[in-house]
Each structure stands twice: as structure tokens, then as C-alpha cells.
């Protein structure tokens, strides 16, 4: 493997359980409880007072970052 190939492989997402800014939670929230960050890879915010507990965000999060209790 060349150095460029190794670097390319190392940059791939391995779904470590951290948010990778796919936007699924934001796009699925009908109550606008999820606030999308302005900058790339910024932190998403949740307005709990708007959340109705439908769990669409948690069920569709590809990396399992969102937990609902």
C-alpha cells in the first residue's frame, strides 16, 4: 500500500459512535427540536422543550450517537 493509499484509508469513517454531521436528525425532526450547526462538523443542539419524544432522530442516526431515555 502506498502512503497516499494508507492516508486515504485512515481518513475513512469507521462509525466510532460520534456524530459525523449527516443531518438525519435535523431533517427528520418535524418539531424543529434539532438545531443544525452553522459550521461543518459543529455541535447539534436539541431544544428539549420542543421534542415530543417520537425517537425518529435516535432510530435513524447511522452512528448511534443519539440516545433517548
Question: CATH classification of 15-69 is 3.40.50.970, yes or no?
Answer: no
pTM over 0.95: no
pLDDT at 69: 83
Confidence of residue 9 (pLDDT cuts 50, 70, 90): confident
Confidence of residue 50 (pLDDT cuts 50, 70, 90): very high
Question: If you average pLDDT over every residue of the chain, what do you get?
Answer: 89
**C-alpha to C-alpha distance for 59 and 68, rounded to whole angstroms:** 10
Which residues lie below 8 Å from residue 63, measured CB to CB, with a gap of 6+? 15, 16, 17, 18, 19, 20, 22
Amino acid at each position: 500500500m502506498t502512503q497516499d493509499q494508507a492516508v486515504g484509508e485512515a481518513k475513512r469513517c469507521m462509525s466510532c459512535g460520534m456524530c459525523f454531521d449527516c443531518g438525519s436528525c435535523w431533517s427528520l425532526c418535524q418539531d424543529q427540536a434539532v438545531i443544525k450547526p452553522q459550521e461543518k462538523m459543529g455541535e447539534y443542539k436539541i431544544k428539549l422543550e420542543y421534542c415530543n419524544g417520537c425517537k425518529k432522530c435516535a432510530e435513524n442516526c447511522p452512528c448511534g450517537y443519539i440516545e433517548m431515555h
